[in-house]
Amino acid sequence: MDRPLLVLFSAHLLSTCSLSLAVVPLAIMAFVPLAPVSVAHRQPGKLTTTLYGRPCRASKIVRRLDSYSSGRLTCDLRGSRSSQKVGSSLTPEDDASTPNVSELRSEHLVAYFDADESMYQVRLGNVLRLSIQNFTVEVRELQLAIRRLMGINSPLRYTPPECLGFKLENEAVNRREANRESSGGMVKTSWLVRKVYDVTCTALDVFFDGRPIPRFWFLETIARMPYFSYSSCLHLLSTLGWYRSPTLMNMHHAEELNEAYHLAVMESLGGDKRWQDRFLAFHASLAYYWFLVFLFFVSPAESYRFSQILEAHAVDTYTEFIDANKDVLDSLAVPDVAYEYFREFRYYFDEFQLSEDSLSSSKRQPEISSLLSVFENILMDEREHTRTMSACIDFVEKGEQFSYNGKVVSASSRRPNVIPSEKRENFWRQWSNVDETDVDV
* Rounded Cα gap, residues 291 and 318, in angstroms: 25
pLDDT at 122: 79
Q: Coil, strand, or helix at residue 419?
A: coil
Walk across the sheet containing 407-409 and list its strands.
354-355, 402-404, 407-409
β-strand pairing of 81-85 with 354-355: unpaired
- Predicted pLDDT of residue 10: 56
Per-residue pLDDT of the chain (441 residues; tens, 9 = 90+): 455 445 445 555 555 555 444 444 434 334 343 333 333 333 333 333 333 333 333 333 333 323 322 222 333 322 322 333 333 333 444 444 444 444 444 444 445 776 666 777 778 889 999 999 888 888 888 888 888 888 887 776 667 788 888 999 999 999 999 999 988 888 888 899 999 999 999 999 999 999 999 999 999 999 999 999 999 999 999 999 899 888 899 999 999 999 999 999 999 898 988 899 999 999 999 999 999 999 999 999 999 999 999 999 999 999 999 999 999 999 888 888 888 888 877 777 888 888 665 445 556 788 888 899 999 999 999 999 999 999 999 999 888 888 887 788 877 656 666 666 777 777 777 888 766 555 554
List the domain boundaries for the chain. 1-164, 166-409
Q: How many Å apart are CA 53 and CA 49, to the nearest integer? A: 9
The Cα 369–Cα 301 span in angstroms is: 38
What is the pLDDT, as a whole number, of residue 389? Answer: 93
Q: What top-level class would CATH report for the domain 166-409?
A: mainly alpha
* pLDDT the model gives residue 3: 54
Q: Write down the pLDDT at residue 154.
A: 73
The angle that helices 246-268 and 371-398 make with each other, rounded to 10 degrees, is 150
Predicted confidence at residue 116, as pLDDT, reads 62
Residue 68: predicted pLDDT: 27
Identify the pLDDT of residue 283.
93
pLDDT number for residue 34: 38
Predicted TM-score (pTM) of the model is 0.72
Closest to 147 measured CA to CA, from 50, 285, 254: 50
What pLDDT sits at residue 383?
A: 92
Counted residue by residue, the chain has a size of 441
Alpha helices in 269-370 (DSSP H): 275-298, 300-324, 326-330, 336-339
Q: Are 125 and 9 in contact (CB under 8 A)?
A: no
